[in-house]
């Protein structure tokens, strides 16, 4: 991956009223090669390169016809999908507002809302998806165990949705925290998918606790048993 544009590091003077941590964050953004590259290549966030790197390793974006983007804001992942598979139907959801993306149906609502799965399927406009991707993370409260549990609840909800909407052979990709998906979730994913792996793409900052779980080869929804 190109690391062009690596000039002298820029430093910010700590302005009155700005926390030291905020100044550090701004300095990191100014000096981040992925942030610079995203601006140059028209992506809304550096997160676009996480998906591109995961695709390079796992071949997630080949021949897509329908994709669901959970936690779409600000839209970098859906931008990647539209550039790689411009013919694909894409539907996304987020609590935060997301500027329109050509060819993407965007819902501003909580994915944990009971109505969200049906609304997403309606927005997608086709019966089955090839890929469900989730960059969702729960708002942190500063208590590591609580933050982990809240994020894992989103990952599990995403998995349940994926098993309802994916076509056989489809894939589910989701952000998890340090340590990856727990044993129960991995076991559940292995029941539904032929391969389940963890990865930390290079675009994921080294000091970040995020990893991704990649479940591929959806086995299909088992037939419901009769009463």
Q: List the catalytic residues.
A: 175
Secondary structure element (H or E) that encloses residue 65, with its range: none
Q: How far is CA 146 from CA 95, 134, 141, 155, in A?
A: 20, 20, 7, 14
Instruction: Look up residue 115 and give its two tokens.
Output: 């109505």
162 token code pair: 């994926």
- Annotated ligand binding at 135? The verdict is yes
Is position 211 annotated in a ligand binding site?
no
b vs e for 57-90, b when ≥16 Cβ sit within 10 Å of the residue's Cβ? ebebbeebebbbbbbbbbbbbbbbbbebbeebbb
According to the annotation, is 32 in a ligand binding site? no
Is 130 marked as a binding-site residue? Answer: no
CA R_g for the chain: 18
**Which residues belong to the annotated binding site?**
75, 77, 94, 110, 135
**Which residues belong to the annotated binding site for S-adenosyl-L-methionine?**
75, 77, 94, 110, 135
């Amino acid at each position: 991956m190109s690391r062009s544009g690596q000039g002298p590091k820029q430093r910010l003077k700590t302005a009155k009223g700005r926390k030291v941590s905020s100044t550090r964050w701004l300095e990191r953004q100014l000096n981040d090669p992925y942030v610079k590259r995203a601006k140059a290549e028209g992506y809304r966030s550096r997160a676009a390169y996480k998906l591109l790197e995961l695709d390079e390793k796992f071949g997630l974006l080949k021949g897509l016809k329908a994709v669901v983007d959970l936690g779409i804001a600000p839209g970098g992942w859906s931008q990647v999908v539209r550039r790689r598979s411009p013919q694909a139907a894409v539907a996304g959801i987020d609590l935060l507002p997301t500027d329109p993306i050509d060819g993407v149906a965007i819902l501003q609502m909580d994915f944990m809302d009971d109505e969200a799965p049906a609304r997403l399927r309606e927005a997608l406009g086709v019966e089955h998806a090839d890929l469900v991707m989730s960059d969702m993370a729960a708002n942190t409260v500063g208590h590591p165990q609580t933050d982990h549990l809240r994020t894992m609840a989103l990952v599990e909800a995403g998995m349940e949705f994926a098993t309802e909407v994916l076509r056989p052979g489809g894939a589910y990709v989701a952000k998890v925290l340090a340590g990856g998906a727990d044993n129960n979730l991995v076991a559940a994913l292995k029941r539904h998918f032929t391969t389940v792996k963890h990865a930390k793409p290079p675009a994921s900052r080294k000091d970040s606790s995020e990893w991704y779980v990649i479940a591929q080869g959806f086995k299909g929804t088992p037939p419901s048993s009769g009463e």
